[in-house]
Structure 1
Amino acid sequence: MRISKDYEERRNEILDTAEKLFTKKGYEKCTVNDILREISIAKGTFYYYFKSKQEVLEAIVTRYTDFMMTKVQAVMNQDLQPEQKFMQVFLAMRINNEVGEEVLNEMHQPDNALLHQKTLQEIVEKIAPVLVEIIEEGIDKNVWQCKYPLQYMQIFLASSLTLTDEGIFEMDADAQMNLGALISLLEKMLEVKEDFFMTMFLENWG
């Protein structure tokens, strides 16, 4: 007897299966046929939900970033001072525990470079405007100054996501120095005194 599933259930089944296969085999080596065989669906069913394997990849990336944005928005809804809000948003971007170490480790494999790259790109595109909102609030409250809020936040995010990515750099003493340098750079971007953020970040990062 054929089992009929609703739209979202079937779509999520395809995404869950594709994510598992992408992380196991690598995005480039995994084919649409591999996905079809794994969940026993027809090719026409797959293409009803997704136009291509690339679209599946983009949907998986969006699930990661949407989850992150849910955590970020929860912070934004709190009554916090701008500096506290900035720190909590940055910390909310750490989703290692929720996504799972195995998935993250596989994402960092050379065969999954595209998945990793697209995830980082979408995080920067979605989170930077949120940080700009916090920066502008801080400017209005005379907490700090910033000449180029969006551009600075894009630079800060791209740098921090790369340098604190344990799949790229091991979190050893040098990596801790990198984090310290990033925070020092942020303080210069916002024209605040030295160590304005340093203690706050380092106490909460570990």
Structure 2
Amino acid sequence: MDTALELFLSAGYEKTTVQDIVKRVNVAQGTFYYYFPSKEALLEAIFARYAKNMVTHIQSCHLENATVLEKLQLLISHFYKLCYSGEPGLIATVLYKEKQGELINKVWRQLQVIAAPLFKSILEQGNQEGVTQVIHIDETLSFFAGIIAALLEATSPTEFGHESDPTIIKNKLAIAGKLIETLFGAPAGSIHLEAPTS
């Protein structure tokens, strides 16, 4: 997966072949197909690995004493940063350039599915404590994913390179934060998004 990631980022997803990957790691092509049915499945595994690592990292942050809003803020920030500037964000940039919209949607949904149980548990706790007001959690998380996807697109409008005007970025992040607060029924000013530093 690490080798494929390097090749996807340097040569592009479309131009990288299974043969390129196995040649670089010096294994037979049959070995590749033993683990992955296709190059697309390998890409999905790369995204899944990052999403699982993010969830594991957040769960290991010793959040027993954290408030619901602190947990929610941490998860939203990590989710956005992962998609914006982590390897998944870099791969997404490559996929956007190659007009791989269907594939982007597929791996984007995969990230959502992996993070959903953690979001659900935080929102359920928030509902019980009266901090959030989410009636239909699954449907709400779909809209949350839409806000993050729109934010990612809105902060990278120039040839898929990220927006460079700090004022514009700050405004877009503030709008997204307010939308998320409204969506989750969280108190005004409780969600703060910041552009990841590279």
TM-score, reference length from structure 1: 0.74
Q: How far 1:85 moved relative to its partner?
A: 1.0
Q: Root-mean-square deviation (CA), in Å? A: 3.1
Give 2:55's aligned amino acid.
M
Moved more, 30-39 or 161-170: 161-170
**Counterpart for residue 144 of structure 2:** 156
**Counterpart for residue 144 of structure 1:** 132
The separation in 2 between residues aligned to 1:40 and 1:189, in whole angstroms, is 49
**Counterpart for residue 23 of structure 1:** 9
> For residues 69 and 190 of structure 1, do their structure 2 counterparts lie closer, same or farther at Cα, with a shift above 3 Å needed?
closer
Computing the radius of gyration from Cα coordinates, the structure with the larger value is 1
The separation in 2 between residues aligned to 1:42 and 1:192, in whole angstroms, is 53
**Gaps (5+ residues) in structure 1?**
1-14
Q: How far 1:45 moved relative to its partner?
A: 2.3
1:186 aligned onto 2:171? no
User: Does the CA contact (< 8 Å) of 2:52 and 2:114 recur in 1?
Assistant: no
> For residues 177 and 39 of structure 1, do their structure 2 counterparts lie closer, same or farther at Cα, with a shift above 3 Å needed?
same
The separation in 2 between residues aligned to 1:157 and 1:108, in whole angstroms, is 18
Moved more, 164-173 or 21-30: 164-173
Per-residue CA distance 1:108-135 (angstroms, 9 max, x = gap): 0213846644442222122233222212
The separation in 1 between residues aligned to 2:121 and 2:109, in whole angstroms, is 19
User: Does the CA contact (< 8 Å) of 1:152 and 1:189 recur in 2?
Assistant: yes
The separation in 1 between residues aligned to 2:72 and 2:50, in whole angstroms, is 20
Per-residue CA distance 1:120-169 (angstroms, 9 max, x = gap): 22221222332222121111112232232221222123312441465555
> For residues 161 and 36 of structure 1, do their structure 2 counterparts lie closer, same or farther at Cα, with a shift above 3 Å needed?
same
1:83 aligned onto 2:57? no
Q: How far 1:104 moved relative to its partner?
A: 4.2
**Counterpart for residue 170 of structure 1:** 163
> For residues 154 and 42 of structure 1, do their structure 2 counterparts lie closer, same or farther at Cα, with a shift above 3 Å needed?
same
SS in 2 for 1:108: helix
The separation in 2 between residues aligned to 1:128 and 1:171, in whole angstroms, is 31
> For residues 135 and 31 of structure 1, do their structure 2 counterparts lie closer, same or farther at Cα, with a shift above 3 Å needed?
same
- Mapping 1:121-140, distance limit 5 Å: 121-140=109-128
User: Does the CA contact (< 8 Å) of 1:144 and 1:190 recur in 2?
Assistant: yes
**Gaps (5+ residues) in structure 2?**
none
TM-score, reference length from structure 2: 0.76
